[in-house]
């Protein structure tokens, strides 16, 4: 197998890498680019721990080939905060104790960010169904949903 | 110095507040490092070859072709591991589970492992390892394994706990009996008796992070292990015992852990990674796939339970009896015994008898899962209790209150209870608005109680006061759900300083004394005790330093609100010295200031919870939805209430998944059919409602702040609460967990037919 | 003086008694005296035993005192999750 | 293994028709990449068709909609005209997997994976959709029903791939709906799925009907008997009961880890009844 040269944009930076044809974007992020915030919980798109945003859509990076990143715009958890200033979702997850072990947290944050970009004022039901592809085994989801609701309200300027 | 663990009623400033967790930013920015997030220079990739058979004798393993694959650096089989055949049986079983020696005991059992320069080479080598199996008859069902003609999982297991000792081998590894009184006499006095058999299927802890480690063995006998574990000191001891390493030379660092729930209390692949590294002479990284996690790491027992309970018409239980069969995989443990002990622990019974039967089957080795063995027993017993309440036309909560255990009750497993919390949780449930809220169409309400033993254990902490007066707290219990925040609160409380000035870290095995695992709900209970003790020792040092500074006797220095105070007027009302001031002068008053503690945190005390749940069932499809859920549990004292609530909610969610959809499904061939999150169906966000919690605080007499472990009990009542709710919704008693849509629809169809 | 209740698996090692009277002030002393009297208990006592004293289960703290007339039960050491 | 990203349909078919023993088309990848995780997976060539012009487009034409093979299912719900015309098809496509899967998976991929449980397929079959197949010898169009053959197998020939799904556009008084049963609320494979498409006459009676069932046989089942129970009715209770019975009878499922024979047969009837009611309302029936 020979490697493929890929040029892409990750978290606003131009990035070039070589990858194998069968290598997933998740493996590229973690093993070649040192972006380990995306986690592999299943490798089959069932847990959402590897969520990344590709061209504006949240996807499981374990179900994207590294080679497919060519020419795309990719966002990962490492690019969510603005320098040392956390994104409101990140802050609210900490404030609401919406994480216990935290392994699912990067994936939830990426998915929630994508939600609030298309729906700034989601209902509880909308949040729950949008996040159904992100498994959490620790929290029972209660505090996660509340954190997303609270972050959405803050981002709408309602409880600033 | 002896440590007084007795509860002292006092006003607490830090404990009970909800500050931000210290590891929060790392975890929301993707910087926290879990098991698979660590690499070493020159590391190899390991993969494990697993048995495709449920039960097979390994006749030979030929690794020659695989070794010839370019990039392969080491291959091991059981022959490369120490032969512990004639040693301690428990140790042998742990190693045999890591790598099968004579027989593959279940689908997924490891038979060989490869370390290679990359994933491709490792994957290729696996295909070239030739294993010759003699396939043997298998048995995977707990009841089938008990039949006389069942295939023997092991031919050298004779049932223990029965007299006279049997001469014929059996899949029943052990029988354990508990109870008191005369149950037959008790049943004779009963007006109504409920008798029913229940079944629960096997479930997995389902942590999102697969097992992962990086092992590095050096030629001088020193070794390092980076691993996600609930107990790195225990892993160190296990690996040293299994591989013949010196404990001091094996340094184990626990990564951030992506969930454990009991499943990471036990070594699975870590000894294999170390052995590969030793053979290859290079670091080895081993990460299980999700499929491997399901096929070959720690599920809990499938069970089959018979319950018989009798009561008088006015609601007094006269006798209770249960036979509990727990499948333990191919290696005997004491899961049935635990089930037998916990089954009737909520009740005050004159006549009770429980028998636990430990059953061997060709399934993965059973390991602990959050309050291990208790949820299934509670499902059976609490279902029968509910049915009995219906039969005598008594409110389910009132019936339980009337029979609840209390201080002085002789427990069903033997000892007499001290002050306990079952009564208060039941009374709280009775008064809870949930209990009286109206139900909609096709909805049913259920409630159930749960009991669990909490544990304490060996614990060691270091508390270092830094030059700027901030404090580093080094603990040895892995943080699975926010304990660094709780322990920082404890240190802040005891020292009288701000929470923000404490930084708690998890120390590795080379830098702190031994600690038991974070299991048995002991993390915060026991390490908070050691932290209090360490803080008190540091205060002693600081009082001495203040005495030196002031040149007064140490007896005249007392500690209050984070300051050393000189007692009385004779010391000219000296201005108190803060931790910061004392720390700044430490170099000239005797050197660094620290408090150390090693202790046994015993006396954790038992724990109780009551859950209430509303379920809506679609009678045409058997689909069910949890529409409301309430957890009421005694925390003793909630150190960080947000994370206590989190434990309540998380345990409830796991129990709901267990009750409704999760199960290991085996084919006729003895192979696991659903080793993935697609068909092993844990609850997703849209499956659940908000989970309400009510924290009761009945101080634990054996902890200075009254703290009680909270991690496990919350998974005990849900199976029964859901079963009771569904049964109340559809009018048919559901006795087989999971209560999946096909089971509900079949039950409804059967009921309609007749 | 305390009466110590043995779990079923231990009884064969102690002349099939369910309850054994021991003159001991601490758990450690109680376990030592039991073991001296019934050497067969040596094996099960190594890492497998817990002791309930008046309802509180101790797994490690063998210095725990045994109040006169306390209810003392030996139990198998249990696992948690 | 090679990864290729051709720019034209001709290049893609040439690659697929080439010498390689095993080649796979990559669109959304949500099935293919799962298969690639398996140790047993082997391939010589992966052809990513998403760089071909038009693959990511939904085009409204005079007599229908053309959905490119690279269009993620999430994009279907963002096309107001498509949602208005084929709400059932869009619903079905949007039921596949999670939000994350929706961002990648395609209806063509769902079809070509040839799972009997594919959610979008019964809805598409009910809608009378066709597929446009590109091949070394040019383009052809076939009924969607003729694409899946058996679990994992399609009727596509070597070198061929589906470039688009073509949905018709009809007159007034049409309505479609798709319902499936899963144990959880999300993330499961359908245990049973039912797609219903109804046309009403001016009096509100059903003039034509198509009823397609998923996960009750080795491939999607289009049941004429079920459709016949509806035609001429205004979906009275008797018609619904007859429909349910016909759907249960048309189901020939297996027992597996997702459901039992009895369960699937029974629920097929229940869902057909409910889907028909939704389709009827959407068609303007009262």
Chains touching A (3+ CB pairs < 8 Å): B, D
Give the domain CATH number at D39. Answer: 3.30.465.10
Pair of tokens at residue B132? 């010759």
Model confidence, pTM: 0.97
**Residues of chain B positioned with their CB less than 8 A from the CB of D188:** 678, 681
- Region B142-154: mean pLDDT is 97
Distance CA D97, CA A111 (A): 14
pLDDT at position D268, please? 98
Distance CA B231, CA B509 (A): 10
3-state secondary structure B503-530: EEEECCCCCCCCCCCCCCCCHHHHHHHH
CA neighbor of B352 nearest in space, from B405, B393, B390, B388: B405
Order across the sheet with B607-618: list the strands. B443-452, B607-618, B623-634, B691-696
B338 vs C7, C61, C78: nearest CB? C78
Distance CA B730, CA D151 (A): 36
List the single residue in B with minimal CA-CA distance to C63: B600
Inter-residue contact B274 to B215 (CB < 8 Å): yes
- Region D198-202: mean pLDDT is 96
**Residues of chain B positioned with their CB less than 8 A from the CB of D259:** 741-742
Of residues C44 and A79, more confidently modeled = A79
Split into its structural domains, chain D has a count of: 2
Residues with Cβ within 8 Å of B732's Cβ and at least 6 positions away in sequence, in order, are: B747, B748, B750, B751
Within this chain, do residues D96 and D125 fall inside the same structural domain, yes or no? yes
CB of A110 less than 8 A from some CB of B: no
**Residues of chain A positioned with their CB less than 8 A from the CB of D6:** none
- Region B514-533: mean pLDDT is 94
Within this chain, do residues D41 and D130 fall inside the same structural domain, yes or no? yes
Percent of chain D with pLDDT over 70: 100
pLDDT band at B200 (very low <50, low <70, confident <90, very high): very high
CB of A80 less than 8 A from some CB of B: yes
Domain boundaries in chain C?
Answer: 2-76
pLDDT at position B3, please? 87
Tell which of D141, D168, D195 closes a domain: D168
**pLDDT of A137 above 60:** yes
- Region D153-175: mean pLDDT is 93
How far A129 CA lies from chain D's nearest CA (Å)?
A: 7
pLDDT at position D254, please? 95
Inter-residue contact B488 to B505 (CB < 8 Å): no
Distance CA B360, CA B200 (A): 16
Within this chain, do residues D143 and D6 fall inside the same structural domain, yes or no? yes
Q: Could D185 and A68 be called an inter-chain contact, meaning their C-beta atoms sit closer than 8 Å? A: no
Largest distance between two CA atoms of chain A: 55
Residues with Cβ within 8 Å of A80's Cβ and at least 6 positions away in sequence, in order, are: A87, A89, A90, A109, A110, A113, B28, B29
Q: Could B209 and A39 be called an inter-chain contact, meaning their C-beta atoms sit closer than 8 Å? A: yes
Q: How many residues are listed for chain C in this entry?
A: 81
Q: Could D29 and A129 be called an inter-chain contact, meaning their C-beta atoms sit closer than 8 Å? A: no
Inter-residue contact D199 to D283 (CB < 8 Å): yes
**Residues of chain C positioned with their CB less than 8 A from the CB of B333:** 79
> A29: which DSSP letter?
I
CB of D76 less than 8 A from some CB of A: no
At A13-42, the pLDDT tens digits run 999 999 999 999 999 999 999 999 999 999
Within this chain, do residues D76 and D186 fall inside the same structural domain, yes or no? no
A58 vs D2, D33, D100: nearest CB? D100
CA neighbor of B309 nearest in space, from B297, B320, B299: B320
At B546-585, the pLDDT tens digits run 999 999 999 999 999 999 999 987 887 899 999 999 999 9
* CATH code that applies to domain C2-76: 3.10.20.30
Within this chain, do residues D57 and D181 fall inside the same structural domain, yes or no? no
pLDDT at position D170, please? 76
At B698-725, the pLDDT tens digits run 999 999 999 999 999 999 999 999 999 9
At B419-444, the pLDDT tens digits run 888 999 999 999 999 999 999 999 99
Q: Could D103 and A57 be called an inter-chain contact, meaning their C-beta atoms sit closer than 8 Å? A: yes
Percent of chain C with pLDDT over 90: 56
- Region B15-39: mean pLDDT is 98
Between B641-660 and B718-730, two packed helices, what is the crossing angle to 10 degrees?
Answer: 50
Q: Which domains does chain B have, with CATH numbers?
A: 35-136+210-257+264-296 (3.90.1170.50), 372-453+606-753 (3.30.365.10), 456-601 (3.30.365.10)
Poorest-confidence range of B237-246, B600-609, B686-695, C20-29?
A: B600-609
Choose from B300, B342, B415, B604 for mutation: most chain C CBs within 10 A. B415
Within this chain, do residues D109 and D226 fall inside the same structural domain, yes or no? no
D3 vs A4, A59, A133: nearest CB? A4
pLDDT band at B1 (very low <50, low <70, confident <90, very high): very low
**Residues of chain D positioned with their CB less than 8 A from the CB of B673:** 256-257
Distance CA B538, CA B550 (A): 18
Across the B:D interface, residue pairs with CB atoms under 8 Å apart total 61
Q: How many residues are listed for chain D in this entry?
A: 286
pLDDT at position B604, please? 85
At D206-243, the pLDDT tens digits run 999 999 999 999 999 999 999 999 999 999 999 999 99
Report how far Cα B676 is from the mean position of its chain's Cα atoms. 21
Give the domain CATH number at D257. Answer: 3.30.390.50
Q: Could C80 and B418 be called an inter-chain contact, meaning their C-beta atoms sit closer than 8 Å? A: no
> B682: which DSSP letter?
P
Chains touching B (3+ CB pairs < 8 Å): A, C, D
Residues with Cβ within 8 Å of B92's Cβ and at least 6 positions away in sequence, in order, are: B84, B85
Within this chain, do residues D109 and D196 fall inside the same structural domain, yes or no? no
Choose from A75, A133, A136 for mutation: most chain D CBs within 10 A. A133
B741 vs D183, D186, D256: nearest CB? D183
Domain range for D134:
2-168
Within this chain, do residues D19 and D140 fall inside the same structural domain, yes or no? yes
Please give the span between the terminal C-alpha atoms of chain B, in angstroms, as a whole number. Answer: 71
Pair of tokens at residue B680? 């092993």
Distance CA B166, CA B535 (A): 55
Chains touching D (3+ CB pairs < 8 Å): A, B
Q: Which domains does chain A have, with CATH numbers?
A: 4-79 (3.10.20.30), 88-155 (1.10.150.120)
Residue B212 DSSP SS3: strand
CB of B42 less than 8 A from some CB of D: no
Q: Could B650 and A101 be called an inter-chain contact, meaning their C-beta atoms sit closer than 8 Å? A: no
**Residues of chain D positioned with their CB less than 8 A from the CB of B665:** 257
pLDDT at position A160, please? 54
Within this chain, do residues D105 and D241 fall inside the same structural domain, yes or no? no
- Give the ipTM: 0.97
Within this chain, do residues D164 and D184 fall inside the same structural domain, yes or no? no
For chains C and D, having 3+ Cβ pairs within 8 Å is answered: no
**pLDDT of B174 above 80:** yes
**Residues of chain D positioned with their CB less than 8 A from the CB of A4:** 3
Within this chain, do residues D10 and D152 fall inside the same structural domain, yes or no? yes
């Amino acid at each position: 197998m020979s490697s493929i040269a890929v040029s892409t944009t990750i978290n606003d930076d131009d990035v070039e890498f070589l990858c194998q044809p069968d290598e997933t974007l998740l493996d590229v992020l973690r093993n070649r680019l040192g972006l380990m915030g995306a986690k592999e919980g299943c490798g089959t798109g069932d847990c959402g721990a590897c969520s990344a945003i590709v061209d504006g859509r949240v996807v499981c990076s374990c179900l994207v080939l590294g080679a497919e990143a060519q020419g795309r715009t990719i966002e990962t958890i490492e690019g969510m905060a603005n320098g040392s200033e956390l994104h409101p979702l990140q802050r609210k997850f900490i404030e609401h104790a919406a994480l216990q072990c935290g392994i699912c947290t990067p994936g939830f944050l990426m998915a929630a960010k994508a939600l609030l970009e298309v729906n700034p004022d989601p209902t509880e039901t909308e949040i729950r169904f949008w996040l159904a592809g992100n498994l959490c085994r620790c929290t029972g989801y209660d505090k996660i949903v509340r954190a997303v609701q609270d972050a959405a309200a803050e981002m709408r300027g309602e409880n600033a | 110095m002896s440590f007084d663990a007795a509860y002292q009623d006092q006003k607490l400033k830090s404990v009970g507040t909800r500050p931000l967790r210290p590891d929060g930013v790392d975890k929301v920015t993707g910087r926290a490092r879990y098991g698979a997030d660590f690499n070493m220079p020159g590391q190899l990739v390991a993969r494990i070859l697993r048995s495709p058979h449920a039960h097979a004798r390994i006749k030979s393993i030929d690794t020659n072709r695989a070794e010839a694959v370019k990039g392969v650096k080491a291959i091991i089989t059981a022959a490369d591991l120490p032969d512990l055949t004639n040693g301690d049986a428990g140790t042998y079983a742990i190693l045999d589970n890591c790598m099968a020696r004579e027989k593959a005991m279940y689908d997924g059992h490891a038979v060989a492992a490869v370390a290679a320069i990359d994933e491709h080479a490792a994957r290729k080598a696996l295909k070239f390892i030739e294993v010759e199996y003699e396939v043997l008859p298998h048995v995977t069902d707990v009841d089938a394994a008990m039949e006389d003609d069942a295939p023997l999982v092991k031919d050298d297991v004779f049932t223990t706990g029965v007299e006279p000792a049997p001469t014929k081998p059996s899949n029943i590894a052990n029988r354990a009996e508990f109870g008191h009184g005369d149950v037959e006499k008790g049943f004779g006095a009963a007006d109504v008796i409920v008798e029913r058999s229940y079944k629960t299927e096997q479930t997995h802890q389902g942590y999102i992070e697969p097992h992962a480690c990086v092992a590095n063995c050096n030629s001088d006998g020193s070794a390092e292990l980076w691993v996600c574990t609930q107990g790195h000191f225990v892993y160190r001891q296990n690996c040293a015992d299994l591989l013949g390493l010196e404990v001091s030379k094996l340094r184990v660092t626990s990564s951030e852990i992506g969930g454990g729930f009991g499943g990471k209390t036990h070594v699975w692949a870590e000894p294999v990674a170390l052995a590969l590294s030793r053979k290859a002479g290079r670091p080895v990284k081993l990460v299980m796939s999700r499929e491997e996690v399901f096929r070959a790491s720690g599920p809990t027992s499938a069970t089959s339970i018979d319950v018989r309970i009798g009561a008088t018409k006015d609601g007094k239980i006269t006798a209770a009896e249960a036979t509990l069969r727990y499948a333990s995989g191919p290696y005997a443990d004491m899961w049935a015994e635990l089930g037998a002990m916990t089954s009737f622990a909520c009740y005050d019974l004159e006549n009770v008898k429980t028998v636990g039967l430990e059953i061997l089957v060709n399934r993965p080795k059973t390991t602990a899962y959050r309050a291990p063995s208790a949820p299934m027993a509670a499902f059976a017993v609490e279902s029968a209790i509910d049915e009995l309440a219906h039969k005598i036309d008594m409110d389910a909560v009132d019936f339980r209150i009337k029979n609840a255990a209390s201080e002085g009750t002789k427990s069903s497993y033997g000892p007499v209870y001290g002050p306990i919390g079952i009564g208060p949780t039941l009374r709280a449930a009775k008064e809870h608005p949930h209990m009286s809220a109206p139900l909609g169409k096709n909805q049913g309400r259920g409630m159930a109680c749960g009991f669990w033993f909490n544990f304490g254990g060996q614990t060691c902490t270091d508390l270092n006061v830094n030059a700027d007066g901030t404090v580093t707290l080094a603990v040895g219990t892995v943080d699975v759900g926010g304990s660094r925040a709780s322990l920082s609160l404890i240190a802040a409380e005891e020292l009288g300083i701000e929470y923000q000035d404490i930084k708690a870290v998890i120390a590795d095995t080379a830098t702190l004394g031994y600690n038991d695992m974070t299991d048995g709900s002991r993390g915060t209970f026991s390490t908070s005790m050691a932290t209090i003790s360490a803080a008190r020792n540091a205060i002693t040092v600081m009082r001495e330093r203040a005495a030196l500074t002031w040149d007064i006797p140490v007896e005249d220095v007392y500690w209050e609100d984070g300051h050393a105070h000189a007692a009385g007027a004779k010391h000219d009302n000296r201005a108190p010295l803060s931790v910061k001031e004392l720390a700044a002068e430490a170099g000239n008053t005797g050197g660094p200031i620290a408090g150390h503690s090693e202790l046994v945190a015993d006396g954790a005390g038992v724990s109780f919870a009551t859950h209430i749940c509303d379920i809506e069932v679609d009678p045409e499809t058997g689909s069910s939805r949890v529409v409301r859920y309430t957890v009421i549990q005694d925390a003793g004292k909630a150190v960080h209430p947000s994370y206590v609530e989190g434990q309540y909610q998380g345990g409830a969610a796991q129990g709901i998944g267990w009750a409704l959809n999760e199960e290991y499904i085996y084919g006729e061939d003895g192979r696991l059919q659903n080793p993935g999150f697609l068909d092993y169906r844990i609850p997703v966000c849209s499956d659940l409602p908000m989970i309400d919690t009510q924290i009761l605080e009945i101080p634990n007499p054996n902890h200075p702040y009254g703290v009680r472990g909270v991690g496990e009990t919350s998974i005990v009542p849900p199976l029964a609460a859901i079963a009771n709710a569904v049964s109340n919704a559809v009018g048919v008693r559901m006795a087989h967990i999971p209560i999946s849509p096909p089971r509900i629809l079949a039950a409804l169809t059967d009921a309609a037919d007749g | 003086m305390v009466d110590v209740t043995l779990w079923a698996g231990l009884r064969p090692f102690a002349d099939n008694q369910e309850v054994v009277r021991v003159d001991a002030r601490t758990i450690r002393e109680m376990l030592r005296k039991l073991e001296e009297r019934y050497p067969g208990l040596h094996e099960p006592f190594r890492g497998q035993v817990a002791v309930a004293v008046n309802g509180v289960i101790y797994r490690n703290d063998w210095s725990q005192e045994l109040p006169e007339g306390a209810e003392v039960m030996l139990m198998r050491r249990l696992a948690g999750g | 293994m090679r990864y290729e990203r051709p720019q034209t349909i001709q290049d893609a078919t040439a690659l697929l028709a080439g010498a390689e023993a095993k080649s796979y088309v990559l669109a959304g990848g949500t099935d293919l990449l799962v298969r690639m995780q398996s140790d047993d997976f082997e391939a010589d060539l992966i052809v990513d068709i998403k760089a071909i012009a038009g693959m990511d487009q939904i085009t409204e034409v005079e007599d229908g909609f053309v959905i490119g093979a690279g269009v993620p299912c999430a994009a279907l719900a963002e096309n107001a005209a498509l949602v208005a015309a084929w709400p059932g098809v869009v619903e079905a496509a949007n039921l596949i997997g999670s939000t994350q899967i929706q961002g990648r998976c395609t209806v063509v991929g769902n079809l070509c994976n040839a799972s009997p449980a594919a959610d979008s397929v019964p809805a598409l079959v009910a809608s009378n959709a066709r597929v446009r197949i590109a091949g070394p010898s040019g383009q052809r169009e076939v009924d969607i029903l003729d694409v899946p053959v058996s679990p994992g197998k399609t009727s596509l020939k070597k070198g061929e791939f589906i470039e688009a799904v073509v949905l018709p556009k009809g007159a007034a008084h049409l309505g479609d709906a798709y319902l499936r049963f899963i144990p959880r609320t999300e993330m499961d494979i359908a245990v049973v799925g039912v797609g219903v498409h109804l046309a009403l006459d001016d009096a509100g009676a059903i003039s034509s009907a198509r009823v397609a069932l998923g996960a009750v046989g080795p491939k999607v089942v289009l049941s004429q008997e079920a459709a016949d129970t509806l035609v001429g009715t205004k979906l009275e209770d008797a018609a619904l009961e007859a429909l349910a019975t016909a759907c249960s009878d048309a189901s020939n499922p297996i027992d597996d880890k997702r459901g039992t024979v009895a369960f699937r047969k029974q629920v097929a009837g229940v869902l057909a009844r409910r889907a028909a009611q939704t389709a009827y309302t959407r068609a303007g029936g009262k």
